[in-house]
Structure 1
Amino acid sequence: MAHVLEVNNLVKHYGRIQALKGVSLTIPKGTVYGILGPNGSGKTTMLGLIMNILQPTSGSIQLFGETPTADHRKKIGTLLETPNFYHYLSAVQNLRIAAAIKGVSNPDIDGVLERVNLLQRKDSAFQTYSLGMKQRLAIASCLIGNPEVMVFDEPTNGLDPVGIAEIRDLIKKLAHEGKTIIMASHLLDEVEKVCTHVAILKRGELIASGHVDEILAHDDVVEVGAANAAALMQVLRSMPLNTGVHEAEAGKCSIHFAPGTADLAAVNKYCFEQGVVLNHLQQKKKSLESKFIELTG
């Protein structure tokens, strides 16, 4: 199957509030698919609809080529909220309970604990775990039954830098094993470092979707300055291959190029040949935050 999930013109209302407005997207098998957007953009609603926890107002969802049902939910590992385990029980005891709830007989508990690097702490009480370990145990619970698809809502929320790195590495490892992972996040850095594909939501609308390298591509920006700022701007506007010229701070100008195409030596040479001597030349990469604001602002 080429696609694990297909969403067609999905609409969801909560009374007068329209949480999703005709969203359509496809999630290829074996990808790490990020659903990115600011708080209130509809990310969690989208995950709830995928999991058949919520019902759409209109539109359709195809999961594994079929309309989602309660049975499909058993085929998906889900982490939608803060890890919820019995604090006084060990990892093994908590996972046995999770397996019973899922209806999984003879679960490979040691196997899933080894995959999340918790096997050595399997007999420790949950309350003795760090936040990162608790989140890894939640992912271990998702892995019981060996689901093809895993759905995470803000999987690194509230974690310290070490915990964030642990979860990122684990998600990459699971993807390498062939799992399809769908994760909602409002963190640009997280999506860029972990995801292969991304859909960006803004107030319930799909702004962009596709491969991360294409959607979150940021321009090369070269900042230049000269004694005669007016003459510099005129020369830059006639320069080939740039995608835009803008005034920057302190009389300087910024030249935008397609990602990976900026050539500082060529910029300097062009300006000199046009009679403008540069006294400032520096490449600056457009920030992810700028790209995100550009898409969602």
Structure 2
Amino acid sequence: MSIVSVENLCKNYGSVQALNSVTFSVPKGSVFGILGPNGSGKTTMLGIIMDILKATSGSYTLFDEVPDENSRRKIGTFLETPNFYHYLSAVRNLKITAAIKERGDKDIDKVLEMVNLTERKNSKFSTYSLGMKQRLAIASCLLGDPDVLILDEPTNGLDPVGIAEIRQLIKQLHQQGKTIIMASHLLDEVEKVCTHVAILKKGKLVATGNVNEILANDDIVELGAPDLEKLKAVLKQLTGYSSIREQDNLVQLFYPAGTTNLENINRFCFKNGVVLNYMQLKKKSLESKFFELTN
């Protein structure tokens, strides 16, 4: 079952195309990251899914059905900076939120416990740190026990401690069976929390799939020999690597992380008449992979 399926979604603001024929699906039970630099269309995408914005063209479904009010009531959303009454406590603010949503009034103590705010539930919102404000916003999303959460930049502006708290909370919610769709411009956040990802660049989808496949570290083996052309010809007969390229008078072989065997490569080259004068194993960082996709 797909929680959200997006098909050729486009959104134009005059001459600016914020989304350009984007297609992807969010599997049930996943933590799905929508990743991209600022201005890539992440917030626009979430706004369309929640019917805050209208798409220029294309379509989408929720829970494999045409979206309606009932399907959206199954989703808890956090799309903006937390906006509560500063002079009211967490409990009072959540009571107001529950009344607006017409659901979740009996869940207030439960959701405050889930986001670790029970001890400060009677404190005024104005006394909260930014991390506490973000957690209260997530608590408001949890009112009514929705199956799905949509979070737009949930760690935005937080210090390392606050980021770690939100990450841990997202992991706990995922373990409880909730599907979480999360927009972020932080590669590290998505890599550590998400199971699946869609990467946007200037409104275009550049990659989507399992995080471990899309954002996998590559092993890079750099090889040198007196006759570079012969080395390249021999290496074309070698199996196991995903791609090959020449750079700075060296040949680079790209392998899935952890699958490289330098001894076998050296032996293969020697048996085929090539004596290597240079061999080095490097790691291709996640940052490099991300910048390669988005630049």
Same fold (TM over 0.5): yes
My pick for the range that moved more, 146-155 or 96-105, is 96-105
Structure 1 residue matching 2:288: 3-state secondary structure? helix
1:284-295 pair list within 5 angstroms: 284-295=282-293
Could you tell me how far 1:267 is from its partner in structure 2?
3.8
Distance, in Å, in 1 between the alignment partners of 2:16 and 2:244 is 39
Structure 2 residue matching 1:170: 3-state secondary structure? helix
Residue in 1 that maps onto 2:195: 196
Share of identical aligned residues, percent? Answer: 62
Distance, in Å, in 1 between the alignment partners of 2:269 and 2:104 is 72
Residue in 1 that maps onto 2:127: 128
Cα distance per residue 1:229-278 (max 9 Å; x no partner): 64467536623234314335xx7664322332111333454566656465
Residue in 2 that maps onto 1:235: 231
Distance, in Å, in 1 between the alignment partners of 2:274 and 2:24 is 51
Structure 2 residue matching 1:108: 3-state secondary structure? helix
Mark the CA change 1:93 to 1:286 in structure 2 (over 3 Å): closer, same or farther: same
1:212-291 pair list within 5 angstroms: 212-223=211-222, 230-231=226-227, 234-235=230-231, 238-239=234-235, 240-241=238-239, 242=241, 243-247=243-247, 254-270=252-268, 274=273, 276=275, 278=277, 281-291=279-289
Mark the CA change 1:155 to 1:276 in structure 2 (over 3 Å): closer, same or farther: same
C-alpha contact 1:52 1:70 (8 A) present in aligned 2: no
1:83-232 pair list within 5 angstroms: 83-104=82-103, 106-223=105-222, 230-231=226-227
Structure 1 residue matching 2:61: 3-state secondary structure? strand
Query: Match for 1:142: what amino acid?
Result: C
My pick for the range that moved more, 105-114 or 45-54, is 105-114
Distance, in Å, in 1 between the alignment partners of 2:188 and 2:63 is 30
Structure 2 residue matching 1:291: 3-state secondary structure? helix
Structure 1 residue matching 2:105: 3-state secondary structure? coil
Mark the CA change 1:134 to 1:258 in structure 2 (over 3 Å): closer, same or farther: same
C-alpha contact 2:223 2:276 (8 A) present in aligned 1: no
- TM-score for the superposition, normalised by structure 1: 0.88
Distance, in Å, in 2 between the alignment partners of 1:31 and 1:54 is 24
Query: Match for 1:3: what amino acid?
Result: S
1:20-39 pair list within 5 angstroms: 20-39=19-38
Mark the CA change 1:129 to 1:252 in structure 2 (over 3 Å): closer, same or farther: farther
Could you tell me how far 1:134 is from its partner in structure 2?
1.4
My pick for the range that moved more, 125-134 or 76-85, is 125-134
Could you tell me how far 1:138 is from its partner in structure 2?
0.9
Distance, in Å, in 1 between the alignment partners of 2:280 and 2:106 is 57
Q: Which runs of 5+ in 2 are unaligned?
A: none
Q: Which runs of 5+ in 1 are unaligned?
A: none
Query: Match for 2:244: what amino acid?
Result: G
C-alpha contact 2:244 2:251 (8 A) present in aligned 1: no
Query: Match for 2:289: what amino acid?
Result: K
Structure 2 residue matching 1:151: 3-state secondary structure? strand
Mark the CA change 1:218 to 1:122 in structure 2 (over 3 Å): closer, same or farther: same
Q: Does 1:3 pair with 2:6?
A: no
Distance, in Å, in 1 between the alignment partners of 2:15 and 2:186 is 28
Mark the CA change 1:255 to 1:105 in structure 2 (over 3 Å): closer, same or farther: closer
Cα distance per residue 1:212-233 (max 9 Å; x no partner): 11222232113456xxx64467
Could you tell me how far 1:147 is from its partner in structure 2?
0.7
Q: Does 1:66 pair with 2:65?
A: yes
Query: Match for 1:60: what amino acid?
Result: S
May I ask how many residue pairs the two structures share in their alignment? 290
Cα distance per residue 1:182-213 (max 9 Å; x no partner): 11111111111111111111222222211111
My pick for the range that moved more, 171-180 or 233-242, is 233-242
My pick for the range that moved more, 287-296 or 186-195, is 287-296
